[in-house]
Amino acid sequence: MVKTVGIGITGGIASYKIADLVSKLKKDDLDVIVMMTEGASKFITPLTLKTLSGREVVTDLWTESLEWKVQHIGVAEQLDLLVIAPATANFIAKMAHGLADDLLSTVVVANTAPVLVVPSMNTNMYNNPIVQDNINTLVNYGYHFMDPDSGVLACGVSGKGRLPEIADIYQQIIALLSPNNDLFGKRIMINAGTTCEDIDPVRFISNRGTGKMGFALAREAAQRGADVILVSGPSPLSAPPNVKHVSVWSAQEMCEIMLKYQSACDVIIGAAAVGDFRIANVAEQKMKKTEDKSRKLTLELVENPDILKELGKRKQDNLIMVGFAAETENVLENARKKLVSKNLDLIVANDVTMEGAGFATDTNIVTLINRAGELVALPKMSKDMVAAAIIDRVVELM
């Protein structure tokens, strides 16, 4: 059956971005009912959203309904999910206090479907304890919230308050519409991306890991109800919704964090390209060039801890551990060795020489190998789909 999503737009500058969200949802053949506050109509016209949603936009509490039902009740009854985006501080306050003085707030009170709230506002407004209390009140009532992104806001201030990427809001909507809670109650720690090792105060060595693979795993696990801790080195990506993101710099830092959380985890997945080496003696001051162009500079490297191996040594019963093997030759053989030496339950062999596989790509080509030596070779798929296939295996292992 076609699902119906109510999109409630309130009066923030980010309102115009919701046109893209409505268009994406319609392309998925969802039925979309757009509701706008008076403030929202000042930022984007109902006509734009009517055209994109393919149905009348609901704005006024006093418009006579063509159907016998009172309009706000009629709308609320149709919804499988209600999304408030962007949600202003004012509208969040109204929801937290059950006010119903316009069409959208009345629908919120009459609604019984899950609600997703996506706040977007000035940083100081967002951090205001009154706003935070209102958010907590709604969270305690079971409302789902997405954290705003950080960046330069329309008001010129830099900080938290931007509307999250439309792609992320869309993902969250899809997850809430089709809940697959097979990881509910499980805690999963995933590492992702690269790590960095300082040479001096301004230079470092790193690798090509972007976090795309690990972040996709974190998103998938969170969507399936897991409590997710994502530990990543620097990455251009925003953490997926409902994920605890711990940002680190070096392999040693990543190792410390993961050891700290290990005992609280049911599953650990190592998707990060952890730097195997670090500089033996990090220069305290910026290293200078000299006039002697024939001079050769030698960096002495020492080995970093092997994080998965350390976790594998301390592996408690019932902990499932999954690793990746980024290989350029003898892929399956090397992957199998890593499965055993790191005490893993599953290894994801990743031939990073193949086109569309490995670092920084949106797709990956992997073979899953378990302790019994069984292989599942997956074709080239998006990293989101690879993540889903890996999580399916993890669920089977549990």
- Catalytic positions are 155
What are the CA-CA distances from residue 385 to residues 58, 132, 179, 183, 233 (Å)? Answer: 37, 35, 17, 17, 23
Exactly one of 176, 189, 352, 388 binds ligand PMT (CB under 6 A); which one? Answer: 352
Helix, strand and coil in the chain, % to nearest 5: 35, 25, 40
Exactly one of 251, 365, 388, 390 binds ligand PMT (CB under 6 A); which one? Answer: 251
Q: Give me the sign of the Cα torsion angle 313, 389, 21, 112.
A: negative
Exactly one of 31, 197, 227, 306 binds ligand PMT (CB under 6 A); which one? Answer: 306
Task: Quote the Cα angle for 155-161-162, to 5°.
Answer: 80
Q: Does 324 bind ligand PMT (CB under 6 A)?
A: yes
Q: Give me the sign of the Cα torsion angle 131, 137, 138, 144.
A: positive
Q: Does 231 bind ligand PMT (CB under 6 A)?
A: no
CB 22 within 8 A of CB 166: no
What are the CA-CA distances from residue 172 to residues 119, 136, 145, 156, 229 (Å)? Answer: 14, 19, 10, 28, 17
Q: Does 308 bind ligand PMT (CB under 6 A)?
A: yes
Q: Does 321 bind ligand PMT (CB under 6 A)?
A: no
With contacts defined by CB under 6 A, how many residues of the chain interact with ligand PMT? 29
Q: Does 359 bind ligand PMT (CB under 6 A)?
A: yes
Q: Does 274 bind ligand PMT (CB under 6 A)?
A: yes
CB 272 within 8 A of CB 191: yes
Quote the CA–CA distance of 373 and 385 in Å, as a whole number.
23
The piece of 80-88, 100-108, 207-215, 368-376 that touches ligand PMT (CB under 6 A) is 207-215
Q: Does 15 bind ligand PMT (CB under 6 A)?
A: no
Exactly one of 58, 83, 273, 390 binds ligand PMT (CB under 6 A); which one? Answer: 273
Exactly one of 33, 213, 243, 321 binds ligand PMT (CB under 6 A); which one? Answer: 213
Exactly one of 209, 240, 241, 312 binds ligand PMT (CB under 6 A); which one? Answer: 209
DSSP state of 289: P
107/231 with CB nearer ligand PMT: 231
For ligand PMT, the binding residues (CB under 6 A) are 193, 209-214, 251, 270-274, 276, 304, 306-308, 323-326, 338, 350, 352, 358-360, 364
